[in-house]
Amino acid sequence: MLIQLLDILRIVLVGIAFYVGYSIGFDTTYNPVAQLHFMIPVVIVAIAGISGLEGLIFGKRTARAKGFETGSNYQKQSSFALLSYAAGAMLVYFTSWGIYAELTILFVFFFFFTLSAINHSIDAIRHKNYKWQNINRPFILLLMLAGFLYPVWMFFK
């Protein structure tokens, strides 16, 4: 139950980040930098930060919910990697390193998340692991990419 609540919390926080971010971006004239400046750290911390802490604190429950083996050192390593994305996003945000640093963190996070979505998809197909915690990753990735596409595109335009 706790693992499902953390999953819901991540989704709700990302939804709020998109709603508030788009509100900021379209406040007057469209401002993709202001939109991304809000959305990037919130989304990364909501997903990577919560997932990293979840993996370290509730590792066995999390692995079982996804249909994976428990007690793996790689699970801890993955949690540390996720926490490093969250810490990096916060560092870039609070030190005001600018939009290019923020986009770098976002693109690296999306690269990891894409590889993770592929891994979860392969696991679902090969091992018939159709647990929600396992199969939701590719769909969540596509939704996030869709939500970030417009502001990123408009920034580079």
CB 70 within 8 A of CB 59: yes
Q: What are the tens digits of pLDDT across the range 92-105?
A: 999 999 999 999 99
Question: What are the pLDDT digits (tens) for 7-19?
Answer: 899 999 999 999 9
Whole-prediction pTM: 0.91
